[in-house]
Structure 1
Amino acid sequence: MDIKTLYDANINNITVAKNAYDALFTAFGQHIESWQHEVVDRLTNSHWTGTASGHAHTRIQFLGTELQAAKQELGLISKALSDAAEGIAAAQSHLVSALDEAKSNKMTVAPDGRITWDNDPNSANYAGDKADATAQAISKRITAALTEADHADQTISARLSHLSTNASNGTGLDAATAKSDQDAANALSQIPAAGTDPNSVKAWWNGLTDAQQQRMILTNHDKIGNLDGIPTVARHQANLINLQRGKEDLQRQLDGLGPEPVKTLATLNGQSVKNPAYDEWKRKHDALDDKMKGVRAIEERLGKPVDADHPPTFLLGFDTKGTGRAIVAVNNPDTADNVSTYVPGTGARVGGSLRSDIERSDLMVASANAANKKAGDPSTTSSITWVGYEAPQSIFPEAAWDGFAKAAENNLHNFETGLRATHEGKPSNNTILGHSFGTTTVGYTLRDKGLPVDNVILIASPGAGVEHASDLGVDPSRVFAAQGDKDAIKYALPEDPDNLASNLGNNVAGSFGYNDNPDHHVAFGRDPSVSQFGAQIIPTSPGTDHSGYWDQNSASLIAMGQAIAGKPIS
């Protein structure tokens, strides 16, 4: 598709053709009704019997089925033409808008897309000192419009070619074929259910025209934004709407609480009597306010001007149900060479530490970039903060129970599979990185579902549900683990009482030199940071506690970046 072809496209001709097929569809339906009344009904009421009658009735019934199939196929041609008009019109509108902007900025767009302008500050047609950046932005819009038109053209051409072939070779008269074609057409407007295989979701999305995709984003943003297999940019657009709607809903709920009640009702025997209404109001208020802080953290990161320290950010998931869901990507994972998903642990939610979790993704991208730069590698990196599950909100009793990790397995598996489905070009080098209880979530998913990742990083782990790195289904040489010298996670007691007794006995014996292979069990399996687990150890700086692994210039942050970038740990 070139600029002139799209600019000159006469959408009205497609609409006229569509209307003609509508008229043909209506007339054909009327002929079927007449045939039913004049032929089928009369024959049925004729009381004709015998062998010849049986053959005639069978043939007429079969012919009726063929006519209905043909009518169904005619209707699908009309729908395809309607989608074609809509898709090409949208692309044409985007092209015209870009060309108009070029004209308003005193620029000329050549038929091949090259943009020229006057650089003389003394000229009446001077395009300004920011002309180069403006021209680049306009060029991208033109390219996007042409790509959009190409996609619409190819998609509709394939549909019309299929229906035309059916009509010419007679397969369109088959009821099963017509039903299959109708189901395929219906599927274009039916959003796959949550949990659908992301590869199927991506195939469905690719079958939509650009105009249909945009309509889905605008009218079904709550489903599209959180559906694995939808490309990053589309999810981001949908989730910007979800974020605004969620913020408005939280504010309505806050306003609906009314003014703060009095804390105490009276004084009895010198003691204040608490007001139950205040306690209930405060509980609800604090929970809503915490989520609102999470919303503001996302808004602030999305709104930061793009620079070396703050790459572009994409919102891949958001809702406020339960403790909330937030998936934020630093850089586009669909186009990055290295893609890391960071799964935080206890306390992860929309609110809480979400701001610092997103900052950790920024730091890991910067660290990976530094590792690449040192190696002379131009590869790009995306780091995703994945709060896509109900994480435990307390160390005890919630984080002492592995049910939260088990409940997250399907969500994490689908998300990682979706990253593979939507990635463009050469497959990326993918890393899954968990912190604290997040490592348990990661480990359980790897163990029970498998994940399409190249590297696994377990930071401050209370156990990943396995005894050895090889049990995670990933090359053990690409499994990394770290535990700081001041991190209390090493004291996380085993959930299984049998492991507790065995662990204490073996470790005590090991400390006195009586056991060369102590169990080293923590809450959910063997400690990944011990040699018996078989992971590659990530170095940590002296004094590293449970949250210190991302401190600037720390040994652990440098090593995480190297692992994410696929470089040797130094």
Structure 2
Amino acid sequence: MVDFSLAALAPQASPNPLPLQQKLLRGSPVEIANLASSFANAAGDADYARVLSTRATSLAKGGYVVDNQGVEPGEARQTQQLLGNSKTAMRAIAATLNGISNDLQTGVINANKAIVAVRGELPAIARAYNAAVARLRAVPGISQAEFDIERARLERQFQQQAVRRIGDAGTAVRAAVTTYETRLAGAQRTLSTLGYAPPSGLNTANSNPLNVPVPPAGTNPKTVAAWWLGLDKATQDHLIGHQYRTIGNLNGVSAVARDQANRIALEEGSHSSDPRVRANAISIQDALDKRTAQFEKQGVPVQLLAYERDAFPHDAKFAIAIGNVDTANNVSVLVPGLNTTNASASSLSGHAAAIYNATHNLDPTQSTATIAWFGYDPPNNERSPAGNYDVQKEDISRAAGGALARDVAGIRATNAAVSGQDPHITAIGHSYGSNVVSRAAHDHHLQANDLVLVGSVGAGDGINSVEDYPDQYDGHVYSGAETDDGIRHNGRVLNGHGGDPNSPDFGARVFDAESENTGADAHSNYFDSNSHNTLRNIGSIASGHGVAIPVRDPDAFRPVNPLPTGPDIPRIRPR
């Protein structure tokens, strides 16, 4: 068996990319950024002290006395000047250190992209070699000696091809190292002129995995991704095993690692003495088991991308992915609506599975991942003591929009860092979830390529047309609704949710979402087996072919009966 692995062939390549990559991985962008933050904080303290010194100078001029001794104005002015200089220097040091951190992060990402790319090419070269050998074996009348000679020639030919590609990757990694080292040398000269010498171990990898610093929540996911990929496997495994609650929910950590960490936390939750935690964990585990059974024969992984047992008063946060989020060309995120709870995990992940299949079937040449995202506490349609419905409020969707934007930024960062690509991401919001997606796009520049609003309660207060979104979504806002969906024409009852995405004035690309469902089912079952039009059109959008969808005339909905005049909103079943 001929070994075409990177580890086997890299030593033959010139340059060998692996030791060059290790030069970058010995550094820690997070540690350098933390040091920069310390200097920035110290600069703030110095600035405050300078303000106090200025006040002291003013008091000295007025003859202020401390312990029967006057304050010397000259000394106060000197102190003021020294503090001002110190503040300026510390801010310059902080800026320089941040520059080093960013340069190192860029170097690590570029090096990883080159190595991931060539690692992905080697299996294709191996398959081409095996196919060539199979053709050789099928040549009529070829002797064993002739076969052995020609096979050896083919082995050399394909191995040399693989080594050349590894060498090309090595050249790219060397360029990343050289660029970083050049920038680092200039930054060190700047630091020297400012009177600061960084600690000698600043760019040395932490050899003690028990003390490895973990970036805090909210750290730029690109920084986290560079940090995570820079750790050796032993350190990664240690963190997964000992800090699983943190690693499992840290945007920027690979989806594969987060899945491993979250399954540890989920197992712990399923044996919790708290009946709420235990019941929620069992519901989420049941959803994972069903999706795994559904996809294991296809070799499609199921990942638990998020699990926070105490995220909400009654429910845990969770995100279940069908497909590998780290490497998929197309990633879609499904955001559910009102009445969804942890008890809905199986049906919500089933909807994600239906979207996965539709997306994959529309373009099987590209890899796909679809995420069932329960990252907020959805409203219900119960009346509050004040007589209002939770679904009428937008404080929930405003907060959820920020959470969605952060998680999608993490998905994009890890996919880019692991696979070296820029994935196509589609955010799909159903019912109240469409309001969450819309708010994330409007308020937080959600890092999605396409927005899909299904059975929408409204785009959100202050969002009355596609013109209200950032320019990045021009031509990429899609909407669909079933004629009999009561939510579609409940706007005058629910009110306060901005424009109707299905109306002509809104300007979205409205697609056909008609199905065999009627009544309450028309709102709740957009992703079931009867919703062929919805799934086909969402699959086209999520696979990057939304422009090919026929745009529906927003006025072409079937006539509907007038809404009931009773005081209550028609009850919507959980999704």
Question: For 1:443, what is the secondary structure of its paired residue?
Answer: helix
Comparing 407-416 and 387-396, the one that deviates more: 387-396
Which residue of 2 is the match for residue 549 of structure 1?
526
The answer for the alignment partner of 1:330 in structure 2 is 322
2:309 matched to which residue of 1?
Answer: 320
The residue aligned with 2:481 is 483
Alignment match of 2:379 (pick from 392, 403, 411): 392
In 1, Cα distance between equivalents of 2:370 and 2:263: 19
Distance, in Å, in 2 between the alignment partners of 1:421 and 1:411 is 16
Check the 8 A contact 2:332/2:542 in 1, yes or no: yes
Using the alignment, how far apart are the partners of 2:278 and 2:392 within structure 1?
26
Q: Report deviation, 1:305.
A: 5.5
The alpha-carbon deviation at position 3 of structure 1 amounts to 4.0
CA distance in 2 between counterparts of 1:317 and 1:311 reads 18
* CA separation of 1:492 and 1:291: change in aligned 2, threshold 3 A: farther
Q: Is the 8 A contact 2:288 2:302 kept in 1?
A: no
Structure 2 runs not aligned, ≥5 long: 1-5, 12-128, 134-165, 384-388, 551-575
Partner of 2:227 in structure 1?
A: 204
Residue 239 of structure 1: CA displacement?
1.2
Question: What is the CA deviation profile of residues 43-88 of structure 1, one whole-angstrom value per residue up to 9, with x for unaligned ones?
Answer: xxxxxxxxxxxxxxxxxxxxxxxxxxxxxxxxxxxxxxxxxxxxxx
Pairing 1:203-222 to 2, within 5 Å after superposition: 203-222=226-245
Q: Distance in 2 between matches of 1:392 and 1:179?
A: 51
Q: How many residues align?
A: 380
Q: Is the 8 A contact 2:270 2:278 kept in 1?
A: no
**Matching of residues 271-290 of structure 1 within 5 Å:** 288-290=278-280
Q: Which letter does structure 2 place at the counterpart of 1:242?
A: A
Equivalent position amino acid for 1:477 in 2: G
What amino acid does structure 2 have at the position aligned with 1:431?
A: T
Q: Distance in 1 between matches of 2:203 and 2:288?
A: 40
Higher mean displacement: 386-395 or 533-542: 386-395
Question: 1:183-226 CA deviation, whole Å, 9 max, x = no partner?
Answer: 87679921111122111211221332222222221111111110
Give the whole-Å Cα distance in 2 for the aligned partners of 1:219 and 1:447.
38
Deviation at 1:480, TM superposition (A): 0.8
**CA-to-partner distance for each residue in 1:237-284, whole Å, 9 max, x for gaps?**
1112111112122xx224xxxxxxxxxxxxxxxxxxxxxxxxxxxxx6
Distance 1:402 1:198 in 2: 27
- 1:467 is aligned to 2:464: yes
Residue 504 of structure 2 is aligned with which of 531, 534, 547? 531
Q: Which has the higher contact order (CA 8 A, sep 6+)?
A: 2
Q: In the TM superposition, what are the counterparts of 1:157-196 in structure 2 within 5 Å?
A: 176-179=196-199, 181-182=201-202, 189-196=212-219
> Deviation per CA, 1:374-422, whole angstroms, max 9, x where unpaired?
xxxx112211111112222445432221121122233211111112111
Which residue pairs with 1:59 in the alignment?
A: none
Matched, 1:246 2:269: yes
**Unmatched 5+ residue regions in structure 1?**
7-111, 117-145, 255-283, 495-499, 501-520
Letter of the 2:344 partner, please give it: S
CA contact (8 A) 1:3 1:113 kept: no
- Structure 1 residue 560 corresponds to structure 2 residue 538: yes
* 1:197–1:414 contact (8 Å) kept in structure 2: no
Structure 1 position 224 matched with structure 2 position 247: yes
What amino acid does structure 2 have at the position aligned with 1:320?
R
Distance in structure 1 (CA, Å) of the matches to 2:455 and 2:235:
45
Report 1:347-362 matches (<5 A): 347-349=339-341, 351-362=342-353
What is the rounded CA distance, in whole Å, between the counterparts of 1:183 and 1:401 in structure 2? 49
Change over 3 Å in CA distance of 1:232–1:289 after alignment to 2: closer
Aligned counterpart for 2:369 among listed residues 371, 382, 385: 382
Q: 2:438 is matched with which residue: 431, 443, 448? A: 443
**Whose Rg is larger?**
1
SS at match of 2:421: coil
Which deviates more from structure 2 when the two are superposed, residues 447-456 or residues 539-548? 539-548
Shift in CA distance, 412/181, structure 1 to aligned 2, threshold 3 Å: farther
* DSSP 3-state at the match of 1:439: helix
* Cα distance change, pair 448–180 in 1 and its aligned pair in 2 (3 A): farther
SS at match of 2:426: strand
Which TM-score applies when normalising by structure 1? 0.57
Q: Would the aligned equivalents of 2:334 and 2:428 in 1 still touch at CA under 8 Å?
A: yes
Whole-angstrom distance in 2 between the partners of 1:183 and 1:404: 43
CA shift digits 1:159-189 (9 cap, x unpaired): xx99x999x99x9999833338538767992
Equivalent position of 1:343 in the other structure:
335
Identity %: 27
Tell me if the contact between 2:322 and 2:369 (Cα under 8 Å) persists in the aligned partners: yes
Aligned counterparts of 1:460 and 1:478: Cα–Cα separation in 2: 17
Matched ranges for 1:259-270 at <5 A: none
User: C-alpha separation between the residues in 2 aligned to 1:305 and 1:536?
Assistant: 32
Report the CA distance shift for 1:560/1:191 in structure 2 as closer, same or farther (over 3 A). Answer: same
The CA deviation string for residues 77-134 of structure 1, in whole angstroms up to 9 with x for no partner, is: xxxxxxxxxxxxxxxxxxxxxxxxxxxxxxxxxxx999x9xxxxxxxxxxxxxxxxxx
Q: Please, which of 426, 429, 445 is the counterpart of residue 431 of structure 1?
A: 426
Query: SS where residue 477 of structure 1 aligns?
Result: coil
| Offset of residue 365 of structure 1 | 1.4
Query: Normalization by structure 2: what TM-score?
Result: 0.57
RMSD: 4.6
Is this contact kept in 2: 1:246–1:319, CA < 8 A?
Answer: no
Task: Work out whether residues 319 and 326 of structure 1, in 8 Å CA contact, stay in contact via their aligned partners in 2.
Answer: yes
Query: How far has the Cα of 1:232 moved from its partner?
Result: 1.3
- Residue type matched to 2:258 in 1? R
**8 Å Cα contact 2:269-2:278 kept in structure 1:** no
- Partners of 1:395 and 1:531 lie apart in 2 by 31
**Secondary structure class of the residue paired with 1:457:** strand
Question: What SS does the aligned partner of 1:458 have?
Answer: strand
Counterpart Cα distance in 1 of 2:279 and 2:333: 27
The residue type paired with residue 547 of structure 1 is S
Q: Distance in 1 between matches of 2:362 and 2:224?
A: 35
> Taking structure 1 as reference, are residues 5 and 481 closer, same or farther at Cα in structure 2, changes over 3 Å only?
closer
> Which whole-Å CA distance do the structure 2 matches of 1:185 and 1:194 have between them?
22
Q: Which residue of structure 2 aligns with residue 27 of structure 1?
A: none
Contact 1:485-1:542 at 8 Å conserved across structures: no
